[in-house]
Amino acid sequence: MSLTIPEEILLSTRMTEQEILEELALLLFQKEKLTLGQASKLARMSQLQFQHLLASRHIPIHYDVDDFEADLDTLRKTGRL
């Protein structure tokens, strides 16, 4: 799906297309509508770059016990733990 933002809207925000994508990604991540990977992809950034953007806005990364256990399981399966 493509989303078209009319030029007059883009001009009225005084933001670049990249800035709008970043703001949208931040908002959807903050509302827990997108994962870190999905949000970073929408923002056209690496996950590390997006994490830096989150930190600069004081937005915490969603990481709960289930995520931690899933990461531990992955580390065990790959022999890294």
Name the residue ranges covered by the structural domains of the chain.
7-77
Q: Which amino acid is at 80?
A: R
- CB atoms under 10 Å from CB of 29, counted, come to 23
What is the C-alpha separation between 62 and 15, in angstroms, rounded? Answer: 27
Amino acid (1-letter code) at residue 26: L
pLDDT band at 71 (very low <50, low <70, confident <90, very high): confident
Read off the tokens for 78: 């790959």
* Sequence-distant (≥ 6) Cβ neighbours of residue 30 within 8 angstroms: 59
- The amino acid at residue 28 is L
Q: pLDDT (tens digit, 9 = 90+) per residue, 31-62?
A: 999 989 999 999 999 999 999 999 999 999 88
Check whether 29 has a pLDDT greater than 90.
Answer: yes
DSSP run (H or E) holding 16? none
Instruction: Give the per-residue pLDDT at 22.
Output: 97
Global confidence as pTM = 0.76
